């Protein structure tokens, strides 16, 4: 009964109106990124996602992956869908044309990623890890490694993984036990066990390229002793085709709450042949290229699931008849009014919509800065854009996945008992959404990264990349009568709270790191809501200018949603600020034995 179609009008709004399209087209390689070129790409992407990927989402969840003698098979229809995805060139949208990619900007590819996450998150896990592996090899690999692997991975003929976690350690990677012994010919022999490896084994591609963290025999202790190795499932022959099977095997599939059609594998490496990527003992730095890509991608997973849950909640709310509107009958020709007339249903739907559209704008802003960081000819511009991406990455990962969890739960709530029943599809979105708050660094870890690393980086330089444009905007628009009272004043109050809390958390953290940790999660959420408030003020400004034009209905709805955000969501910054200012004493004073 569920359905999905990409929100193309809103996607075009953030791409062509909210974001500065001239700034994007000024970048080398992006000169032709006009609506005439991009719109057909988005329309074809929607067809693939709504007509091919979405119809196998529920069946894939029910069937799941299977393993027999180390061979993993994906659910019915997944191989055919992957072939269509690969043959359509979708895997190489942003990849380097030198390796067969299309070289499109991240800002365009992000919208396709959102569609894929809405339509079939489990399917999207397979190419998603490949993109991160491509990024790591492109930045840190040798010329020979690039020549051997990137063409195949960009085309989608081969896929990639990220092998970090071990049974005894997750976030604390300094504890890993996997070992890499030099073989004397430039290669290494990798031995160890990894768990929770997404797409570690499957039947979609001809080869799987594992990027594995391991330690050399002379490695120093801790994270400074980690190296990164490229370990293919099949060793490539001189002609580039898959050859002999390597010592990398899937020993088990995890039985999970959600994303059941994604093969989450326990992997065993036994004297597997591998090659170092990057420098010895610098593997974690190289892997962070992949992890940062993955963290932004996981944020988009939360956004995608929130969107599809919202669409189906709206459809149900307009169709389901239940009671009469409390302020008078709205549909006298029907035996009851549809539930969309009820205040609490409207509250839930508007909460979902305001968060989704705000998150989409923040994600697009981040994607544009990624493009500037990679493409701009001026080093200072690249640095400024990369600073912003570094700062916002933990916020996008954590805030958008929190929104995904909250929105899918609200979507299920709108359907009431039917939302809890499998046939309507809503409960799957809740189950699928939960993992996004956990993997690629839990949201608590993202908050610690924001407070412990990003806040003080380069004497606050990262923070200034966000604070300065927001403050400049508030100052420039504070006298604008159309914007000031409804949008700029609430934003100014929230931004003031963020500034005060930033200073206080930094001050307390210098004396007691526990204080910074105690504030971290609330601080990240305060930052995220304020960032969305800025995005919504800018979107409201655009909508005000166009609300009487040809698409009046779209812009009036945008304004109404902006007002809801400013009045019902942005005020949450007040309570968050109070929680932050309360300090960490209440968390510390409970005796451990009393828990």
CA distance between the termini of the chain:
45
Residues 6 or more apart in contact with residue 495 via CB below 8 angstroms: 470, 471, 474, 530, 533, 534
242: left (phi over 0), alpha (psi -120 to 50) or beta: beta
CA dist 473 and 316 (Å) reads 39
Q: Mind spelling out the 3-state secondary structure of 46-115?
A: HHHHHHHHHHHHHHHHHHCCEEECCEEECCCCHHHHHHHHHHCCHHHCCCCHHHCCCCCCHHHHHHHHHH
Which of 121, 120, 48 minimizes the C-alpha distance to 90?
48
Residue 260 near residue 61, CB atoms below 8 Å: yes
In the chain, the largest separation of any two C-alpha atoms, in whole Å, equals: 83
**Cβ atoms within 10 Å of 438's Cβ, excluding its own:** 15
Which residue bears the tokens 């008992």? 417
DSSP letter at 183 equals -
CA dist 453 and 517 (Å) reads 12
Count of residues for the chain? 595
CA dist 443 and 420 (Å) reads 26
Question: In the chain, what are the helix, strand and coil shares in percent, each to the nearest 5?
Answer: 65, 10, 25
**Residues with a known catalytic role:** 440
Long-range contacts of the stretch 420-428 (C-beta < 8 A, 24+): 423/1, 424/1, 424/2, 424/312, 424/316, 425/1, 425/2, 425/57, 425/58, 425/312, 426/2, 426/309, 426/312, 426/313, 428/57, 428/58, 428/61, 428/258
Q: In what helix (H) or strand (E) does residue 489 lie, and over which residues does it extend?
A: helix 489-511
Q: Counting Cβ atoms within 10 Å, is residue 201 exposed (0-12), middle (13-18) or buried (19+)?
A: buried
CA dist 286 and 282 (Å) reads 7
Residue 79 near residue 204, CB atoms below 8 Å: yes
CA dist 451 and 453 (Å) reads 6
Residues 6 or more apart in contact with residue 8 via CB below 8 angstroms: 42, 43, 46
Which tokens is 408 given?
């899918």
């Amino acid at each position: 009964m569920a359905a999905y179609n990409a929100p193309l009008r809103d996607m075009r709004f953030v791409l062509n109106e909210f974001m500065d399209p001239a700034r994007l087209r000024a970048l080398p390689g992006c000169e032709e990124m006009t609506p005439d070129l991009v719109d057909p790409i988005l329309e074809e992407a929607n067809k693939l996602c709504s007509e091919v990927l979405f119809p196998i989402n529920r069946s894939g969840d029910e069937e799941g992956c299977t393993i027999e003698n180390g061979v993993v098979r994906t659910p019915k229809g997944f191989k055919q869908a992957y072939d269509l995805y690969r043959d359509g060139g979708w895997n190489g949208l942003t990849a380097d044309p030198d390796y067969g990619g299309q070289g499109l900007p991240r800002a365009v590819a992000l919208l396709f990623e959102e569609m894929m996450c809405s339509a079939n998150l489990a399917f999207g896990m397979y190419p998603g890890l490949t993109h991160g592996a491509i990024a790591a090899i492109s930045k840190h690999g040798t010329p020979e490694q690039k020549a051997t692997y990137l063409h195949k991975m960009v085309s989608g003929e081969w896929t990639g993984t990220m092998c970090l976690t071990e049974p005894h350690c997750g976030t604390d990677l300094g504890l890993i036990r996997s070992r890499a012994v030099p073989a004397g010919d430039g290669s290494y022999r990798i031995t160890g066990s990894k768990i929770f490896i997404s797409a570690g084994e499957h039947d979609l591609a001809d080869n799987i390229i594992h990027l594995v963290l391991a330690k050399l025999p002379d490695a120093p202790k801790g994270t400074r002793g980690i190296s990164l190795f490229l370990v293919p499932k099949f060793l490539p022959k001189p002609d580039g085709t898959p050859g002999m099977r390597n010592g990398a095997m899937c020993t088990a599939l995890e039985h999970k709450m959600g994303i059941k059609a994604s093969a989450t594998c326990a992997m065993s490496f036994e004297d597997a042949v591998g090659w170092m990527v990057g420098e010895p003992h610098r593997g974690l730095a190289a892997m962070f290229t992949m992890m940062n890509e993955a963290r932004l991608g996981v944020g988009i997973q939360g956004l995608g699931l929130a969107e599809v849950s919202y669409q189906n909640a709206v459809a149900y709310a307009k169709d389901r008849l239940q009671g009469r509107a409390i302020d008078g009958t709205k549909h006298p020709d029907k035996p009851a009014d549809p539930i969309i007339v009820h205040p609490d249903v409207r509250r839930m739907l508007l909460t979902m919509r305001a968060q989704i559209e705000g998150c989409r704008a923040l994600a697009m802003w981040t994607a544009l800065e990624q493009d500037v960081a990679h493409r701009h000819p001026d080093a200072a511009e690249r640095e400024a854009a990369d600073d912003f991406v570094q700062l916002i990455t933990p916020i996008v990962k954590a805030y958008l996945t929190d929104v995904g969890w909250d929105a899918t739960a609200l979507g299920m709530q709108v359907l009431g008992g039917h939302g809890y029943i499998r046939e309507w599809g809503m409960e799957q979105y809740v189950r699928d959404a939960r993992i996004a708050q956990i993997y690629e660094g839990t949201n608590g870890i993202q908050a610690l990264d924001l407070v412990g690393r990003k806040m003080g980086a380069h004497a606050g330089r990262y923070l200034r990349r966000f604070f300065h444009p927001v403050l400049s905007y508030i100052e420039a628009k504070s006298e604008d009568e159309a914007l000031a009272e409804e949008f700029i004043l609430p934003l100014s109050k929230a931004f003031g709270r963020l500034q005060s809390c930033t200073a206080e958390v930094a001050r307390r953290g210098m004396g007691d790191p526990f204080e910074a940790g105690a504030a971290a999660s609330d601080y990240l959420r305060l930052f995220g809501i304020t960032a969305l408030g800025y995005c919504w003020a800018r979107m409201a400004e655009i909508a005000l200018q166009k609300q009487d034009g040809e698409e009046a209905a779209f812009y009036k709805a945008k304004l109404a949603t902006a007002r809801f955000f400013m009045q019902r969501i942005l005020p949450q910054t007040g309570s968050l600020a109070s929680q932050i200012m309360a300090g960490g004493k209440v968390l510390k004073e409970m005796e451990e034995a009393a828990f």
